[in-house]
Chain A
Amino acid sequence: SQKIEQNSEALNIQEGKTATLTCNYTNYSPAYLQWYRQDPGRGPVFLLLIRENEKEKRKERLKVTFDTTLKQSLFHITASQPADSATYLCALEGDGSGNTGKLIFGQGTTLQVKP
């Protein structure tokens, strides 16, 4: 079955720097990969989706890349701000067919941006 690995250690960076978070998966390449943000005590909120035929996707200060050879997605936040401090989760479909409801999540990486 598919496994997702995100760095469980918190990422601490200085305000204004670029934060880079990693999501690795172990088996088949998914049809798409999603990134979510979760604040303490709240449900995850969708940020970006990147499809298998896309190498890069941007939204304001956010950028996601998808490398199916490396089985990896990178999530970048440029010009980071203290308000970007949160846990970031990656998710992908669970069995590779793109035809099920099995969306699975990584354990998330906590980002702390210091002023």
Chain B
Amino acid sequence: NAGVTQTPKFQVLKTGQSMTLQCAQDMNHEYMSWYRQDPGMGLRLIHYSVGAGITDQGEVPNGYNVSRSTTEDFPLRLLSAAPSQTSVYFCASSYSLRGRGGTDTQYFGPGTRLTVL
């Protein structure tokens, strides 16, 4: 298994440009999520999905859109990039976070380092 893959690894955008960060997993995980990581801020949840066709907002959703048309893929769209979106973006997946009996181990991708000028 490839696990969780993310593309691209690095990206530079100009303010106002749009782009899509790709995330795919081959573990048949129901749950997928996007985080951004900034120095001193830790990982902050942007959006998450508990299954195909279902998405919800995390802590910092503004400026980002997501969709989940398949179990495997969970792309993150930046609609109009801003310098404040300069960050490292991580995608993660797990079997399920539903119910208090789950193990919910998160598997992270290698990250995308985004710079917005």
Contacts and interface: CB of A to CB of B under 8 A. Distances in A.
B108 A93 contact: no
Nearest to A99: B98
Interface of A: 6, 8, 31-32, 34, 36, 41-46, 49, 52, 89, 91, 93-94, 98-108
Contacts of B8: none
A101 B106 CA distance: 11
A100 B59 CA distance: 13
A43 B58 contact: no
A106 B108 CA distance: 16
How big is the B interface, by class? 20 to 34
Given A102-B45, A107-B41, 11 more contacts: A34-B104, A43-B109, A43-B110, A44-B108, A45-B108, A46-B106, A49-B104, A49-B105, A100-B56, A101-B50, A108-B42
Contact of B42 (A41, A42, A105): A105
A105 B33 contact: no
A42 B110 CA distance: 5
B42 A101 contact: no
Given A89-B43, A103-B97, A43 B111 contact: yes
Interface of B: 4, 31, 33, 35, 40-45, 48-50, 56, 58-59, 90, 92, 97-100, 102-111
A35 to B, nearest CB: 11
Contact of B104 (A32, A42, A89): A32
Given A44-B43, A101-B33, A107-B42, A34 B106 contact: yes
Given A34-B106, A106-B42, A98 B58 contact: no
A101 B56 CA distance: 8
A89 B39 CA distance: 14
A44 B105 contact: no
